[in-house]
Amino acid sequence: MHVKLLNFGMFIPSKAWLRPPVTAALLLGATALTAPSVRAEELMDALASAYQTSPVLQAQRASLRATDETVSQAFSGWRPSVTASGSYGRQRIRTEQPLSFVGAGGGISNDRRISPITGEIKLSQPIFRGGRTVNGIRQAEAGVMAGRELLLSAEQTVLLGAVTAYMDVLRDIAVVDLNRNQVEVLSRQLQATNDRFRVGEITRTNVAQSEARLSGSQSNLTAAEAALIASISAYERVIGHKPADLKDPPPPPTLPESEEAAQTQALERNPQLRAALEAERASAHAVKVEIGKLLPTVALEASTRVLNDVNAEGLEQDEAAIIALLQVPLYESGAVYASVRQAREINSQRRLEAAQARRQVIEGVRNAWEGLRSTQARILSDKEAVRANEIALEGVRQEADVGARTTLDVLDAEQELLNARVALVRSQRNETVAGYNLLASVGSLTASGLGLAVEIYDPALHYNEVRTKMIGTHASTSEKIPETGEIFVMEGDGAPN
Protein backbone atom coordinates (compact mmCIF):
# COMPACT_ATOMS: atom_id res chain seq x y z
CA MET A 1 0.00 0.00 0.00
CA HIS A 2 1.43 3.33 -1.00
CA VAL A 3 -0.23 6.10 0.93
CA LYS A 4 1.65 8.73 -1.04
CA LEU A 5 -0.80 8.00 -3.83
CA LEU A 6 -3.58 9.53 -1.76
CA ASN A 7 -3.83 13.09 -2.98
CA PHE A 8 -7.36 14.34 -3.04
CA GLY A 9 -6.74 17.84 -4.32
CA MET A 10 -8.41 20.75 -2.58
CA PHE A 11 -10.36 18.56 -0.19
CA ILE A 12 -7.49 16.79 1.61
CA PRO A 13 -3.95 18.01 2.29
CA SER A 14 -1.40 15.66 0.72
CA LYS A 15 0.05 14.80 4.15
CA ALA A 16 -3.29 14.32 5.87
CA TRP A 17 -2.76 10.52 5.92
CA LEU A 18 0.27 10.97 8.10
CA ARG A 19 -0.42 14.03 10.24
CA PRO A 20 -4.16 14.55 10.85
CA PRO A 21 -4.79 17.28 13.42
CA VAL A 22 -7.82 15.61 15.01
CA THR A 23 -6.55 12.03 15.02
CA ALA A 24 -3.37 13.15 16.75
CA ALA A 25 -5.23 13.32 20.04
CA LEU A 26 -6.76 9.94 19.36
CA LEU A 27 -3.34 8.45 18.74
CA LEU A 28 -1.42 9.77 21.70
CA GLY A 29 -3.92 11.26 24.09
CA ALA A 30 -2.52 14.47 25.48
CA THR A 31 0.63 14.23 23.32
CA ALA A 32 0.19 15.73 19.87
CA LEU A 33 1.15 13.54 16.95
CA THR A 34 3.19 16.30 15.38
CA ALA A 35 5.19 17.04 18.54
CA PRO A 36 8.95 17.07 17.83
CA SER A 37 9.60 14.62 20.69
CA VAL A 38 7.56 11.88 19.00
CA ARG A 39 9.80 9.75 16.81
CA ALA A 40 8.47 8.68 13.45
CA GLU A 41 7.70 4.96 13.32
CA GLU A 42 7.97 2.84 10.23
CA LEU A 43 6.47 -0.56 9.58
CA MET A 44 9.75 -2.42 10.16
CA ASP A 45 10.14 -0.65 13.52
CA ALA A 46 6.68 -1.84 14.52
CA LEU A 47 7.45 -5.40 13.41
CA ALA A 48 10.68 -5.38 15.39
CA SER A 49 8.83 -4.20 18.49
CA ALA A 50 6.21 -6.92 18.08
CA TYR A 51 8.93 -9.56 17.68
CA GLN A 52 10.74 -8.43 20.83
CA THR A 53 7.79 -7.90 23.16
CA SER A 54 5.03 -10.29 22.06
CA PRO A 55 3.86 -12.47 24.98
CA VAL A 56 2.61 -14.99 22.41
CA LEU A 57 6.12 -15.48 21.03
CA GLN A 58 7.68 -15.60 24.47
CA ALA A 59 5.17 -18.21 25.61
CA GLN A 60 5.86 -20.32 22.51
CA ARG A 61 9.60 -20.08 23.16
CA ALA A 62 9.07 -21.27 26.73
CA SER A 63 6.98 -24.14 25.39
CA LEU A 64 9.80 -25.09 23.02
CA ARG A 65 12.35 -24.99 25.83
CA ALA A 66 10.13 -27.36 27.80
CA THR A 67 10.02 -29.65 24.77
CA ASP A 68 13.84 -29.56 24.62
CA GLU A 69 13.90 -31.27 28.00
CA THR A 70 12.19 -34.35 26.56
CA VAL A 71 15.43 -35.16 24.72
CA SER A 72 17.40 -35.08 27.96
CA GLN A 73 14.73 -37.26 29.56
CA ALA A 74 15.06 -39.75 26.70
CA PHE A 75 18.85 -39.84 27.15
CA SER A 76 18.32 -40.91 30.76
CA GLY A 77 17.58 -44.40 29.44
CA TRP A 78 21.34 -44.78 28.85
CA ARG A 79 22.43 -43.28 32.13
CA PRO A 80 22.98 -45.05 35.44
CA SER A 81 20.86 -44.45 38.50
CA VAL A 82 22.49 -44.31 41.93
CA THR A 83 20.60 -44.56 45.19
CA ALA A 84 21.78 -44.45 48.78
CA SER A 85 19.80 -45.66 51.77
CA GLY A 86 20.45 -46.01 55.45
CA SER A 87 18.71 -46.88 58.68
CA TYR A 88 19.23 -46.49 62.39
CA GLY A 89 17.01 -47.57 65.23
CA ARG A 90 16.60 -49.29 68.59
CA GLN A 91 15.65 -52.94 68.89
CA ARG A 92 14.83 -55.13 71.86
CA ILE A 93 15.19 -58.88 71.50
CA ARG A 94 13.80 -61.06 74.33
CA THR A 95 14.27 -64.83 74.18
CA GLU A 96 12.90 -67.51 76.60
CA GLN A 97 13.42 -71.22 76.12
CA PRO A 98 12.32 -73.78 78.77
CA LEU A 99 14.48 -76.85 79.40
CA SER A 100 12.62 -79.93 78.18
CA PHE A 101 14.78 -82.82 79.31
CA VAL A 102 13.50 -85.07 82.11
CA GLY A 103 13.93 -83.81 85.64
CA ALA A 104 15.14 -80.43 84.57
CA GLY A 105 13.45 -77.28 85.75
CA GLY A 106 13.56 -73.63 84.82
CA GLY A 107 14.76 -72.47 81.41
CA ILE A 108 16.97 -70.05 79.49
CA SER A 109 16.05 -66.38 79.28
CA ASN A 110 17.80 -63.68 77.25
CA ASP A 111 16.89 -59.98 76.98
CA ARG A 112 19.09 -57.63 74.96
CA ARG A 113 18.82 -54.21 73.30
CA ILE A 114 20.68 -53.29 70.11
CA SER A 115 21.09 -50.21 67.92
CA PRO A 116 21.66 -51.42 64.35
CA ILE A 117 23.10 -49.07 61.74
CA THR A 118 22.84 -50.01 58.07
CA GLY A 119 23.94 -48.18 54.93
CA GLU A 120 23.63 -49.17 51.29
CA ILE A 121 24.62 -47.68 47.91
CA LYS A 122 23.20 -49.22 44.75
CA LEU A 123 24.06 -48.43 41.12
CA SER A 124 21.92 -49.64 38.23
CA GLN A 125 23.16 -49.34 34.66
CA PRO A 126 20.80 -50.26 31.78
CA ILE A 127 22.53 -52.26 29.08
CA PHE A 128 19.69 -53.04 26.68
CA ARG A 129 16.10 -51.81 26.87
CA GLY A 130 14.61 -53.29 23.73
CA GLY A 131 15.53 -50.25 21.62
CA ARG A 132 13.33 -47.94 23.70
CA THR A 133 16.14 -45.50 24.48
CA VAL A 134 17.29 -45.05 20.88
CA ASN A 135 13.78 -44.65 19.54
CA GLY A 136 12.75 -42.50 22.48
CA ILE A 137 15.58 -40.08 21.69
CA ARG A 138 14.57 -39.98 18.03
CA GLN A 139 10.94 -39.40 19.02
CA ALA A 140 11.93 -36.54 21.32
CA GLU A 141 14.20 -34.96 18.70
CA ALA A 142 11.38 -35.06 16.14
CA GLY A 143 9.14 -33.42 18.72
CA VAL A 144 11.71 -30.65 19.20
CA MET A 145 11.88 -30.04 15.45
CA ALA A 146 8.09 -29.88 15.31
CA GLY A 147 8.17 -27.39 18.17
CA ARG A 148 10.64 -25.20 16.29
CA GLU A 149 8.34 -25.13 13.29
CA LEU A 150 5.40 -24.20 15.52
CA LEU A 151 7.52 -21.38 16.92
CA LEU A 152 8.13 -20.12 13.38
CA SER A 153 4.41 -20.38 12.71
CA ALA A 154 3.67 -18.32 15.83
CA GLU A 155 6.30 -15.80 14.74
CA GLN A 156 4.61 -15.43 11.36
CA THR A 157 1.21 -15.03 13.00
CA VAL A 158 2.53 -12.30 15.30
CA LEU A 159 4.26 -10.42 12.48
CA LEU A 160 1.24 -10.66 10.18
CA GLY A 161 -0.91 -9.37 13.03
CA ALA A 162 1.53 -6.49 13.46
CA VAL A 163 1.32 -5.63 9.74
CA THR A 164 -2.47 -5.74 9.94
CA ALA A 165 -2.56 -3.53 13.05
CA TYR A 166 -0.17 -1.02 11.49
CA MET A 167 -2.16 -0.78 8.27
CA ASP A 168 -5.48 -0.63 10.12
CA VAL A 169 -4.33 2.46 12.00
CA LEU A 170 -3.17 4.14 8.79
CA ARG A 171 -6.40 3.21 7.03
CA ASP A 172 -8.60 4.50 9.84
CA ILE A 173 -6.61 7.75 10.11
CA ALA A 174 -7.28 8.34 6.42
CA VAL A 175 -10.96 7.44 6.79
CA VAL A 176 -11.30 9.86 9.70
CA ASP A 177 -9.63 12.58 7.62
CA LEU A 178 -11.94 11.94 4.70
CA ASN A 179 -15.04 12.04 6.87
CA ARG A 180 -13.84 15.13 8.72
CA ASN A 181 -13.19 16.81 5.39
CA GLN A 182 -16.69 15.80 4.28
CA VAL A 183 -18.16 17.47 7.38
CA GLU A 184 -16.28 20.66 6.54
CA VAL A 185 -17.40 20.58 2.91
CA LEU A 186 -21.02 19.93 3.85
CA SER A 187 -20.88 22.66 6.48
CA ARG A 188 -19.81 25.12 3.80
CA GLN A 189 -22.43 23.67 1.50
CA LEU A 190 -25.14 24.23 4.13
CA GLN A 191 -24.03 27.80 4.65
CA ALA A 192 -24.16 28.49 0.93
CA THR A 193 -27.57 26.83 0.72
CA ASN A 194 -28.91 29.01 3.51
CA ASP A 195 -27.58 32.10 1.74
CA ARG A 196 -29.30 31.12 -1.48
CA PHE A 197 -32.51 30.31 0.41
CA ARG A 198 -32.55 33.76 2.03
CA VAL A 199 -32.36 35.45 -1.37
CA GLY A 200 -35.06 33.16 -2.74
CA GLU A 201 -33.00 31.14 -5.21
CA ILE A 202 -33.89 27.76 -3.67
CA THR A 203 -36.57 26.31 -1.41
CA ARG A 204 -36.56 25.17 2.19
CA THR A 205 -36.43 21.60 0.94
CA ASN A 206 -32.89 22.14 -0.35
CA VAL A 207 -31.82 23.47 3.04
CA ALA A 208 -33.34 20.45 4.80
CA GLN A 209 -31.52 18.10 2.45
CA SER A 210 -28.20 19.80 3.22
CA GLU A 211 -28.88 19.66 6.95
CA ALA A 212 -29.73 15.95 6.80
CA ARG A 213 -26.62 15.14 4.80
CA LEU A 214 -24.43 17.12 7.23
CA SER A 215 -25.96 15.32 10.20
CA GLY A 216 -25.26 11.97 8.55
CA SER A 217 -21.65 12.93 7.80
CA GLN A 218 -21.12 13.93 11.44
CA SER A 219 -22.42 10.52 12.51
CA ASN A 220 -20.06 8.83 10.04
CA LEU A 221 -17.16 10.84 11.44
CA THR A 222 -17.97 9.68 14.97
CA ALA A 223 -18.09 6.05 13.80
CA ALA A 224 -14.78 6.47 11.97
CA GLU A 225 -13.15 7.92 15.08
CA ALA A 226 -14.45 4.98 17.15
CA ALA A 227 -12.99 2.55 14.61
CA LEU A 228 -9.66 4.39 14.81
CA ILE A 229 -9.59 4.11 18.59
CA ALA A 230 -10.26 0.37 18.29
CA SER A 231 -7.42 0.03 15.78
CA ILE A 232 -5.08 1.94 18.10
CA SER A 233 -5.98 -0.44 20.94
CA ALA A 234 -5.25 -3.43 18.72
CA TYR A 235 -1.97 -1.82 17.67
CA GLU A 236 -0.90 -1.41 21.28
CA ARG A 237 -1.83 -5.01 22.06
CA VAL A 238 0.13 -6.45 19.12
CA ILE A 239 3.07 -4.04 18.84
CA GLY A 240 3.50 -3.34 22.56
CA HIS A 241 3.13 0.48 22.54
CA LYS A 242 0.90 3.20 21.20
CA PRO A 243 1.39 4.24 17.56
CA ALA A 244 3.60 7.24 16.95
CA ASP A 245 3.96 9.17 13.70
CA LEU A 246 3.34 6.27 11.32
CA LYS A 247 5.06 6.49 7.95
CA ASP A 248 4.26 5.09 4.53
CA PRO A 249 4.74 1.30 4.58
CA PRO A 250 7.34 -0.09 2.19
CA PRO A 251 6.26 -2.66 -0.37
CA PRO A 252 6.59 -6.26 0.82
CA PRO A 253 9.90 -7.99 0.16
CA THR A 254 10.32 -9.94 -3.05
CA LEU A 255 7.23 -12.04 -3.65
CA PRO A 256 7.10 -15.28 -5.65
CA GLU A 257 6.96 -14.70 -9.38
CA SER A 258 4.03 -17.02 -9.95
CA GLU A 259 1.47 -19.06 -8.09
CA GLU A 260 3.31 -22.26 -8.99
CA ALA A 261 6.56 -20.88 -7.57
CA ALA A 262 4.72 -19.85 -4.42
CA GLN A 263 3.28 -23.34 -3.95
CA THR A 264 6.69 -24.95 -4.47
CA GLN A 265 8.25 -22.66 -1.90
CA ALA A 266 5.40 -23.23 0.55
CA LEU A 267 5.67 -27.03 0.32
CA GLU A 268 9.33 -26.70 1.26
CA ARG A 269 9.18 -23.99 3.93
CA ASN A 270 5.67 -23.61 5.37
CA PRO A 271 6.11 -24.18 9.12
CA GLN A 272 2.66 -25.70 9.65
CA LEU A 273 3.35 -28.40 7.07
CA ARG A 274 6.87 -29.03 8.37
CA ALA A 275 5.54 -29.33 11.93
CA ALA A 276 2.97 -31.90 10.77
CA LEU A 277 5.69 -33.92 9.02
CA GLU A 278 7.88 -33.88 12.16
CA ALA A 279 4.91 -34.94 14.28
CA GLU A 280 4.39 -37.89 11.92
CA ARG A 281 8.06 -38.84 12.28
CA ALA A 282 7.81 -38.66 16.07
CA SER A 283 4.76 -40.91 16.08
CA ALA A 284 6.59 -43.50 13.96
CA HIS A 285 9.36 -43.69 16.57
CA ALA A 286 6.72 -43.88 19.31
CA VAL A 287 5.51 -47.16 17.78
CA LYS A 288 9.03 -48.62 18.12
CA VAL A 289 9.21 -47.42 21.72
CA GLU A 290 6.05 -49.34 22.56
CA ILE A 291 7.26 -52.46 20.71
CA GLY A 292 10.47 -52.29 22.77
CA LYS A 293 8.44 -52.99 25.91
CA LEU A 294 7.84 -56.53 24.57
CA LEU A 295 11.58 -57.24 24.21
CA PRO A 296 14.02 -58.47 26.87
CA THR A 297 15.98 -55.99 28.96
CA VAL A 298 19.47 -56.32 30.39
CA ALA A 299 20.84 -54.25 33.25
CA LEU A 300 23.87 -54.31 35.53
CA GLU A 301 23.51 -53.64 39.24
CA ALA A 302 26.34 -52.98 41.71
CA SER A 303 25.73 -52.48 45.42
CA THR A 304 27.59 -52.27 48.70
CA ARG A 305 26.02 -52.66 52.15
CA VAL A 306 27.35 -52.07 55.64
CA LEU A 307 25.76 -53.38 58.89
CA ASN A 308 27.01 -52.33 62.32
CA ASP A 309 25.49 -52.91 65.77
CA VAL A 310 26.90 -50.40 68.25
CA ASN A 311 25.71 -52.45 71.26
CA ALA A 312 27.00 -55.80 70.10
CA GLU A 313 30.74 -55.83 70.31
CA GLY A 314 32.46 -57.03 67.16
CA LEU A 315 29.30 -57.24 65.07
CA GLU A 316 30.10 -55.74 61.66
CA GLN A 317 29.03 -56.98 58.28
CA ASP A 318 30.03 -55.70 54.82
CA GLU A 319 28.48 -56.82 51.56
CA ALA A 320 29.34 -56.02 47.94
CA ALA A 321 27.70 -57.40 44.82
CA ILE A 322 27.68 -57.04 41.06
CA ILE A 323 24.67 -58.62 39.39
CA ALA A 324 23.57 -58.86 35.77
CA LEU A 325 19.80 -58.81 35.43
CA LEU A 326 17.89 -60.24 32.50
CA GLN A 327 14.16 -59.67 32.28
CA VAL A 328 12.02 -61.30 29.61
CA PRO A 329 8.41 -60.14 29.51
CA LEU A 330 6.15 -63.12 28.92
CA TYR A 331 2.71 -61.62 29.32
CA GLU A 332 1.82 -58.08 30.43
CA SER A 333 -1.96 -58.53 30.79
CA GLY A 334 -2.42 -57.30 27.25
CA ALA A 335 -1.66 -53.67 28.16
CA VAL A 336 1.54 -53.41 26.10
CA TYR A 337 -0.11 -54.94 23.03
CA ALA A 338 -2.89 -52.36 23.34
CA SER A 339 -0.28 -49.59 23.62
CA VAL A 340 1.40 -50.79 20.42
CA ARG A 341 -1.90 -50.83 18.55
CA GLN A 342 -2.72 -47.39 19.91
CA ALA A 343 0.65 -46.00 18.80
CA ARG A 344 0.13 -47.41 15.30
CA GLU A 345 -3.26 -45.70 15.03
CA ILE A 346 -1.78 -42.42 16.26
CA ASN A 347 0.91 -42.74 13.60
CA SER A 348 -1.80 -43.22 10.97
CA GLN A 349 -3.57 -40.14 12.35
CA ARG A 350 -0.41 -38.03 12.13
CA ARG A 351 0.22 -39.22 8.57
CA LEU A 352 -3.28 -38.18 7.54
CA GLU A 353 -2.89 -34.86 9.35
CA ALA A 354 0.29 -34.22 7.37
CA ALA A 355 -1.58 -34.94 4.14
CA GLN A 356 -4.32 -32.55 5.21
CA ALA A 357 -1.74 -29.91 6.13
CA ARG A 358 -0.29 -30.20 2.63
CA ARG A 359 -3.70 -29.59 1.09
CA GLN A 360 -4.28 -26.62 3.39
CA VAL A 361 -0.93 -25.13 2.42
CA ILE A 362 -1.75 -25.39 -1.28
CA GLU A 363 -5.18 -23.86 -0.65
CA GLY A 364 -3.71 -21.10 1.50
CA VAL A 365 -1.15 -20.16 -1.16
CA ARG A 366 -3.79 -20.11 -3.87
CA ASN A 367 -6.11 -17.94 -1.78
CA ALA A 368 -3.30 -15.58 -0.80
CA TRP A 369 -2.16 -15.25 -4.40
CA GLU A 370 -5.65 -14.55 -5.69
CA GLY A 371 -6.32 -12.20 -2.80
CA LEU A 372 -3.27 -10.12 -3.70
CA ARG A 373 -4.15 -10.16 -7.38
CA SER A 374 -7.72 -9.08 -6.72
CA THR A 375 -6.71 -6.22 -4.42
CA GLN A 376 -4.27 -4.93 -7.02
CA ALA A 377 -7.03 -4.97 -9.63
CA ARG A 378 -9.39 -3.33 -7.15
CA ILE A 379 -6.95 -0.48 -6.58
CA LEU A 380 -6.86 0.31 -10.31
CA SER A 381 -10.64 0.30 -10.38
CA ASP A 382 -10.91 2.48 -7.25
CA LYS A 383 -8.42 5.02 -8.61
CA GLU A 384 -10.44 5.30 -11.77
CA ALA A 385 -13.61 5.66 -9.71
CA VAL A 386 -12.05 8.50 -7.70
CA ARG A 387 -10.93 10.26 -10.88
CA ALA A 388 -14.33 9.89 -12.49
CA ASN A 389 -16.22 11.03 -9.40
CA GLU A 390 -14.00 14.10 -9.06
CA ILE A 391 -14.84 15.07 -12.63
CA ALA A 392 -18.52 14.29 -12.08
CA LEU A 393 -18.67 16.38 -8.90
CA GLU A 394 -17.09 19.36 -10.61
CA GLY A 395 -19.57 19.05 -13.47
CA VAL A 396 -22.58 18.71 -11.18
CA ARG A 397 -21.52 21.79 -9.23
CA GLN A 398 -21.19 23.87 -12.39
CA GLU A 399 -24.58 22.64 -13.60
CA ALA A 400 -26.09 23.43 -10.21
CA ASP A 401 -24.78 26.98 -10.45
CA VAL A 402 -26.82 27.53 -13.62
CA GLY A 403 -29.88 25.73 -12.26
CA ALA A 404 -29.52 22.53 -14.29
CA ARG A 405 -28.90 20.43 -11.16
CA THR A 406 -30.49 20.37 -7.74
CA THR A 407 -28.82 20.56 -4.33
CA LEU A 408 -29.53 16.87 -3.83
CA ASP A 409 -27.60 16.07 -7.02
CA VAL A 410 -24.56 17.89 -5.61
CA LEU A 411 -24.88 16.13 -2.26
CA ASP A 412 -25.11 12.74 -3.95
CA ALA A 413 -22.05 13.47 -6.08
CA GLU A 414 -20.06 14.49 -3.00
CA GLN A 415 -21.12 11.30 -1.19
CA GLU A 416 -20.15 9.13 -4.15
CA LEU A 417 -16.72 10.76 -4.26
CA LEU A 418 -16.29 10.17 -0.53
CA ASN A 419 -17.26 6.53 -0.91
CA ALA A 420 -14.79 6.08 -3.76
CA ARG A 421 -11.95 7.63 -1.76
CA VAL A 422 -12.71 5.50 1.29
CA ALA A 423 -12.82 2.41 -0.94
CA LEU A 424 -9.40 3.32 -2.37
CA VAL A 425 -7.93 3.74 1.10
CA ARG A 426 -9.22 0.33 2.15
CA SER A 427 -8.03 -1.32 -1.05
CA GLN A 428 -4.53 0.04 -0.53
CA ARG A 429 -4.52 -1.29 3.02
CA ASN A 430 -5.76 -4.68 1.77
CA GLU A 431 -3.01 -4.82 -0.85
CA THR A 432 -0.25 -4.45 1.73
CA VAL A 433 -1.80 -6.99 4.11
CA ALA A 434 -2.39 -9.41 1.22
CA GLY A 435 1.27 -9.14 0.19
CA TYR A 436 2.52 -10.01 3.65
CA ASN A 437 -0.11 -12.74 3.93
CA LEU A 438 1.36 -14.33 0.81
CA LEU A 439 4.79 -14.16 2.43
CA ALA A 440 3.38 -15.96 5.49
CA SER A 441 1.78 -18.68 3.38
CA VAL A 442 5.14 -19.53 1.78
CA GLY A 443 7.00 -19.38 5.12
CA SER A 444 8.99 -16.18 4.53
CA LEU A 445 7.31 -13.81 7.01
CA THR A 446 9.96 -14.16 9.73
CA ALA A 447 12.28 -11.75 11.48
CA SER A 448 15.28 -13.13 9.58
CA GLY A 449 13.39 -13.23 6.28
CA LEU A 450 12.36 -9.58 6.65
CA GLY A 451 15.80 -8.52 7.88
CA LEU A 452 14.45 -6.92 11.06
CA ALA A 453 16.97 -5.05 13.18
CA VAL A 454 16.57 -7.38 16.16
CA GLU A 455 18.52 -10.15 17.82
CA ILE A 456 17.09 -13.30 16.30
CA TYR A 457 16.06 -15.90 18.86
CA ASP A 458 18.09 -19.09 18.34
CA PRO A 459 16.30 -22.15 19.79
CA ALA A 460 19.41 -24.29 19.26
CA LEU A 461 21.27 -22.52 22.10
CA HIS A 462 18.99 -23.84 24.83
CA TYR A 463 18.66 -27.22 23.12
CA ASN A 464 22.42 -27.76 22.98
CA GLU A 465 22.74 -26.70 26.60
CA VAL A 466 20.22 -29.19 28.01
CA ARG A 467 20.46 -32.04 25.49
CA THR A 468 22.95 -34.07 27.52
CA LYS A 469 22.72 -32.16 30.80
CA MET A 470 22.77 -34.67 33.66
CA ILE A 471 22.56 -32.56 36.82
CA GLY A 472 20.89 -29.28 37.74
CA THR A 473 17.41 -27.86 38.20
CA HIS A 474 18.18 -24.28 37.15
CA ALA A 475 16.35 -23.04 34.06
CA SER A 476 18.99 -20.83 32.46
CA THR A 477 16.71 -18.47 30.59
CA SER A 478 15.43 -14.94 30.92
CA GLU A 479 12.46 -13.29 29.28
CA LYS A 480 11.53 -9.64 28.94
CA ILE A 481 8.05 -9.05 30.29
CA PRO A 482 6.49 -6.42 27.99
CA GLU A 483 4.11 -4.93 30.56
CA THR A 484 6.89 -3.73 32.87
CA GLY A 485 9.99 -3.94 30.71
CA GLU A 486 11.80 -5.75 33.54
CA ILE A 487 13.97 -8.81 33.13
CA PHE A 488 12.84 -11.82 35.14
CA VAL A 489 15.31 -14.69 35.47
CA MET A 490 13.65 -17.99 36.18
CA GLU A 491 15.38 -19.49 39.22
CA GLY A 492 13.37 -22.69 39.45
CA ASP A 493 12.52 -23.57 43.06
CA GLY A 494 15.62 -21.96 44.52
CA ALA A 495 17.54 -25.23 44.79
CA PRO A 496 21.28 -25.13 44.04
CA ASN A 497 22.26 -25.90 40.49
Report if residue 185 sits inside a domain: yes
pLDDT at 479: 52
3-state secondary structure labels for all residues of the chain: CCHHHCCCCCCCCCCCCCCCHHHHHHHHCCCCCCCCCCCEECHHHHHHHHHHHCHHHHHHHHHHHHHHHHHHHHHHHHCCEEEEEEEECCEEEEEEEECCCCCCCCEEEEEEEECEEEEEEEEEEEEECCCHHHHHHHHHHHHHHHHHHHHHHHHHHHHHHHHHHHHHHHHHHHHHHHHHHHHHHHHHHHHHHHHHHHCCCCCHHHHHHHHHHHHHHHHHHHHHHHHHHHHHHHHHHHHCCCCCEECCCCCCCCCCCCHHHHHHHHHHHCHHHHHHHHHHHHHHHHHHHHHHCCCCEEEEEEEEEEEEECCCCCCEEEEEEEEEEEECCCCCCCHHHHHHHHHHHHHHHHHHHHHHHHHHHHHHHHHHHHHHHHHHHHHHHHHHHHHHHHHHHHHHHHHHHCCCCCHHHHHHHHHHHHHHHHHHHHHHHHHHHHHHHHHHHCCCCCHHHHCCCCCCCCHHHHHHHHCCCCCCCCCCCEEECCCCCCEEECCCCCCCC
The total number of structural domains in the chain stands at 1
Report if residue 106 sits inside a domain: no
Report if residue 101 sits inside a domain: no
- Residues facing residue 126 across a β-bridge: 299
Report if residue 105 sits inside a domain: no
* Per-position pLDDT tens, the chain of length 497: 433 333 333 333 333 333 344 444 444 443 333 333 446 789 999 999 999 999 999 999 999 999 999 999 999 999 999 999 988 888 777 777 776 655 555 667 777 777 788 899 999 999 999 999 999 999 999 999 999 999 999 999 999 999 999 999 999 999 999 999 999 999 998 998 898 899 888 889 989 999 999 999 999 999 999 999 999 999 999 999 999 889 988 888 889 999 999 999 999 999 999 999 999 999 999 999 999 999 999 999 999 988 877 665 556 788 899 999 999 999 888 999 999 999 999 999 999 999 999 999 999 999 999 999 999 999 999 999 999 999 999 999 999 888 888 889 999 999 999 999 999 999 999 999 999 999 999 999 999 999 999 999 999 999 999 988 888 887 665 454 444 444 434 333 433 33
Report if residue 306 sits inside a domain: no
Report if residue 14 sits inside a domain: yes
How crowded is residue 329: how many other Cβ atoms within 10 Å of its Cβ? Answer: 12
Phi then psi for 467, rounded to 5 degrees? -55, -45
Report if residue 107 sits inside a domain: no
CATH of the domain at 169: 1.20.1600.10
CB 302 within 8 A of CB 324: no
Q: Domain range for residue 339?
A: 3-77+131-287+334-489
CB 69 within 8 A of CB 275: no
Q: What is the C-alpha separation between 361 and 367, in angstroms, rounded?
A: 10
Report if residue 495 sits inside a domain: no
pLDDT at 487: 40
CB 136 within 8 A of CB 455: no
- Residues facing residue 309 across a β-bridge: 116
pLDDT at 481: 47
Phi then psi for 89, rounded to 5 degrees? -170, -175
**pTM (2 decimals)?**
0.82
